[in-house]
Amino acid sequence: MNTKSYFFQSFAIVALALVAFIGFKQILPDKIFSESKLDSKNILIDSLLLESVAEDSLSLDKDSIAKSEEALNGQKIVFDQTEGIEFPAETFENYKGYQYLISFYEKLYQLEKNPQNKVRIAYYGDSMTDGDLIVQDVRTNYQERFGGNGVGFVSITSESAASRGSVKSTYSKNWKTQSYLNVKRPTCPFGVNGHVFFANDKSNSTWVQYEAGLNKYSTSLDNATLFYGRSSKTGKVNFIIGKDTIKKSLSPNGLVNTLKVSSGSLKSFKANFVQADSIPIYGFNFDNGAGVHVDNFSQRGNSGLPISMFNADVMRAFNNSLKYDLIILHYGTNVLNYGTKNYSWYEKGMTKTVNKIKESFPGVSILIVSTADKSTKYDLEMKTDSAVVPLMKAQKHYALEAQAGFVNLYTLMGGDGSMIKWVDETPAKANKDYTHFNQRGAKAIGNLLYGQLNKGYEEYKVLREKRDAEGTKPKPVRKARPDSVSVTKDSV
């Protein structure tokens, strides 16, 4: 066959492919082919999300969704007592699930009675909480009321290190980083932050430096402590504090090991890792040992699904030192753009995530924060994205099924069309991408989140004091009444 024949064959194949694509495009959801051009720089998409979407048919099963909502709407959610306390029944529409935050609220109650106690929160999120946005305001609210100083756990490297105000960090560029967003089988297990770092450059210095931020309650680095993992080889780290250099050895014998930089408070320090190339490094923790501490584990592009890959034994080892009382899962931004309004695949995946958290952090309370409002252009007019409400309902559904608290961020910020108002008002509280909040808006959201959590806590105190006054004993687990929906896996 001559060259001309090859050319025409190739041209025909390309032409047929183009025609097929144009025809196929007509039956695909419009949202797959967005009119806006997104800047993909620094945007990561976790591999589990892509796999879940690929496995799903992306079909809109209206009948099953309608039946599911009809079964839940209008029915009461009646809770079983926990330690003699029972919050009032709720509806699915207004579900908050304070009942499942009782162990967290009890820790706050004990802290309020004894300021030397400690309460710890892990806040997992995506780009919404990048740079400590939202989280730093939740942290400040809690520390304002209950005490506590410090920003908590901080990773070795971060995309948002330069923009974070609550702690300043710089680091050498030769760190090897593995993230749970794009690595399924890390060289060593991921840390509680979803990352593991290696100082494996034998020719050049591998270092990280921290400096206290300017935010209230984070103006010092208290009890700076390094967390690192297991290895067959030892290593060394030199801490440079002012003009002094403190040389210490790394003994990586346990699943998770700690090394205190120094006692008391620091304004800044630098850590140089020497001959530590095989040791997994996780990050540093900063807290004063009393009050409330909130760790920000944000990661751009995260859907929440990668948490299901955590090594439960390693997480329990972290928890032995950090002792979490509440874990917040704040996701949704990266799950809206896949041309589907059927999020059953996401419910299934996030249920695995919640189950992994329960296995990894026994007894911890869990709070699900829904997607915020997001606006998209339809026929030259900005409107709430059609996927927002279906995703929010799916998040509420798996929160109920997993027996977790729930914050409906979509309604909390104003519901339908609210993102447009947040962008257009003066001064603006959200960015022109109609998706992310600016610092002013993040502060408002942080205050709203804290407000809902605190409302539940105040209700808990009333119920607790009533229980104590009446000498109420825990009731046996009862069956759900006919007019109620049982809060079990089978019923939802």
pLDDT per position as a tens digit, 298-309: 999 899 999 999
How large is the average pLDDT for residues 389-404?
96
Q: Confidence band (pLDDT; 50, 70, 90) for 492?
A: very low
- Evaluate the CA torsion angle 165, 154, 190, 187 in order and state its sign: positive
At residue 52, the pLDDT reads 62
| Cα–Cα distance for residue pair 60/137, rounded to 1 Å | 38
**Best-predicted range by mean pLDDT (2-6, 237-241, 260-264, 485-489):** 237-241
| Cα–Cα distance for residue pair 225/286, rounded to 1 Å | 7
67-100 residue pLDDT tens: 556 666 667 999 999 999 999 999 999 999 999 9
Say yes or no to pLDDT of 485 above 80: no
Q: Confidence band (pLDDT; 50, 70, 90) for 64?
A: low
Q: How many CA atoms lie within 13 A of 219 on its CB side?
A: 4
What is residue 254's three-state secondary structure? coil
Q: Confidence band (pLDDT; 50, 70, 90) for 121?
A: very high
Say yes or no to pLDDT of 488 above 60: no
Say yes or no to pLDDT of 10 above 80: no
Q: Which DSSP helix (H) or strand (E) runs through 5?
A: helix 3-27
How large is the average pLDDT for residues 45-53?
60
At residue 33, the pLDDT reads 37
446's tokens = 């942080």
Q: Name 400's Cβ contacts closer than 8 Å, sequence gap at least 6.
A: 77, 92, 95, 97, 406, 487, 492
Backbone φ and ψ of 79, nearest 5°? -95, 150
203-250 residue pLDDT tens: 889 999 999 998 999 999 999 999 999 999 999 999 999 999 999 999
| Cα–Cα distance for residue pair 118/290, rounded to 1 Å | 5
Q: Confidence band (pLDDT; 50, 70, 90) for 27?
A: very low
400-459 residue pLDDT tens: 999 999 999 999 999 999 999 999 999 999 999 999 999 999 999 999 999 999 999 999
How large is the average pLDDT for residues 361-377?
96
Q: Are 329 and 369 in contact (CB under 8 A)?
A: yes
Flag the least confident range among 74-78, 104-108, 139-143, 229-233. 74-78
Output the pTM of the full model.
Answer: 0.85
Q: Confidence band (pLDDT; 50, 70, 90) for 46?
A: low
**Average model confidence (pLDDT) across the chain:** 86
Which is more confidently placed, 39 or 141? Answer: 141
Q: What percent of the chain has pLDDT over 70?
A: 80
What is residue 26's three-state secondary structure? helix
DSSP string, 398-452: HHHHTT-EEE-HHHHTTSTTHHHHHHHSSS-SB-TTSSSB-HHHHHHHHHHHHHH
At residue 435, the pLDDT reads 95
Q: What percent of the chain has pLDDT over 90?
A: 73
